[in-house]
Amino acid sequence: MLRLEGVWQRFGALEVLHNISFELAAGEFVCLIGPSGCGKTTLLRIAAGLLKPSAGQALFNGEPISAPLPEIGILFQQPTLLPYLSTRANVELPLALRGVSRAARRSIAQQALAQLGLAEFAEAYPSQLSGGMAQRAALGRALVQNPAVLLMDEPFSALDAMTRELMQLELLDLWQRTRKTILMVTHSITEAIFMADRVLVLTARPGRLSATLDVPLPRPRRLAMVHSPEFGALAAQLRSHINAPGL
């Protein structure tokens, strides 16, 4: 469904990405991990059509991505909600920009808010939401367009540990119900293994795809799995890839 072919990215003399190629199958949950500054966010921006690569291409269903597509949603590290709009209006925003009628977009937004446990906060403003609630609202805004692919850039990194675990479980529950294709950037080895079907490892800048780790843990995932020998073995294997010479 989503494929990157020979992607290079340079900003002037600075090489950020070096010959990246991989693909995501429909309904697959993939995590991308690597050192800070290795180009993970740049890679997401290319996949989202927000940045043209210096060489190579990103494709959606076999067609080159040259601009943002409604079929590809993106969730950033910070919720980036507009402070002067209510939660509902923030979630509605992509639909309003597309010219969807007020009644239709309100109905779609209310359904998304209900799915995310935010129905009673529909008229609250971002300053009145907790960090986890704000990130749920941002997720709702990404989902109202019903994208086939969801790109996520460390969406839970700013949350406390307990809220982060709750959001992980909520996202996995949503993914189980919708089977959207997800590519999520994370710095956490535990999060990558807990969430993903497959983990891609990038080297330090310039980012190169150095390893791919399949995660055969059964679904649905449970937090208790983190303490299992199988999970520990996968974490050790992923850590060895991340700490390999040259990374």
Question: Over the stretch 194-219, which tens digit does the pLDDT of each residue have?
Answer: 999 999 999 999 999 999 999 999 99
Please count the structural domains in the chain. 1
| 129 within a domain of the structure (yes/no) | no
| 21 within a domain of the structure (yes/no) | yes
pLDDT digits (tens, 9 = 90+) for 133-188: 998 899 899 888 889 999 999 988 878 888 889 889 989 998 998 899 999 999 99
| 27 within a domain of the structure (yes/no) | yes
Structural domain that includes position 224:
2-82+146-242
pLDDT of the residue at 247: 41
| 99 within a domain of the structure (yes/no) | no
Nearest by Cα to 14 from 205, 187, 209, 164? 205
Integer Cα distance of 73 and 71 in angstroms: 7
Check pLDDT > 70 for residue 5: yes
Check pLDDT > 70 for residue 244: no
Query: DSSP string covering 84-146, please?
Result: TS-HHHHHHHHHHHTT--HHHHHHHHHHHHHHTT-GGGTT--GGGS-HHHHHHHHHHHHHTT-
| 54 within a domain of the structure (yes/no) | yes
| 219 within a domain of the structure (yes/no) | yes
Instruction: Indicate which CATH number applies to the domain containing 167.
Output: 3.40.50.300
